[in-house]
Structure 1
Amino acid sequence: MIKIYGMPSCPDCAAVEEQVKGDARYEVIDIGAHISHLKAFLRLRDSEPAFEAAKRKGWAGVPCFVLEDGTVTLRPEEAGLSRRSAGVAAGTACSIDGSGC
């Protein structure tokens, strides 16, 4: 099963969650729903090289995907999903400059 860490208020996470609705191959974990979910995500973010570019840009690093083999990635394509189209929900982003989550 592929784990997806994110938050409903993140437009990129919402787009990913919409794609996996009802698909048992994915587990969506809302990091804001419980402190244990946030702690698990922060452990990943603090230790995984996949987050380095996101941290440099000031992004939270969600959605985050933990593949079945343990690989951590921020690329939906590596989890068999699509990115949110640039034109979809224009002006919505998690970062102040509107560039990403």
Structure 2
Amino acid sequence: MKEFLSHHNIPFQYVDITAGMANLKAFLKYRDHRAEFADVRKEGRVGIPCTVVNEGELIIFGQPELSQLQ
């Protein structure tokens, strides 16, 4: 995903959820409470990778379409 975003000159902040508890907790807050993750929770999956746009305005699973990010 980082390569895709960089290749298309889309600014992003990469967050490694394994780098510390704060990052993991921030991700789990989205995962445990957002409707976009309902199927993920139901299927017992983690929900990564995902792209969170503008502090949760949009959550995308898999590779996004460029139009979703511009």
TM-score, normalization: structure 2?
Answer: 0.71
**Which stretches in structure 2 are left out of the alignment for 5+ residues?**
none
Maintained 8 Å contact 2:36/2:59: yes
The match for 2:4 is 19
Q: Deviations over 1:9-55 (max 9, x none)?
A: xxxxxxx1222347461111000011100010011111101101111
Answer 1 or 2: which has greater helix percent. Answer: 2
The match for 1:66 is 52
Provide the secondary structure at the position in 2 that maps to 1:53. helix
| Deviation for aligned residue 1:69 | 6.7
**Which stretches in structure 1 are left out of the alignment for 5+ residues?**
1-15, 82-101
Aligned equivalents of 2:31 and 2:18: distance in 1? 15
Same amino acid, percent of matched pairs = 29
**What is the alpha-carbon root mean square deviation over aligned residues?**
2.4
TM-score, normalization: structure 1?
Answer: 0.52
Maintained 8 Å contact 1:64/1:72: no
- Output aligned runs, 1:17-96, within 5 Å: 17-21=2-6, 23=9, 25-68=11-54, 70-75=56-61, 76-77=63-64, 80=66
Structure with more contact order per residue of length (Cα contacts < 8 Å, sep ≥ 6): 1
Maintained 8 Å contact 2:32/2:41: no
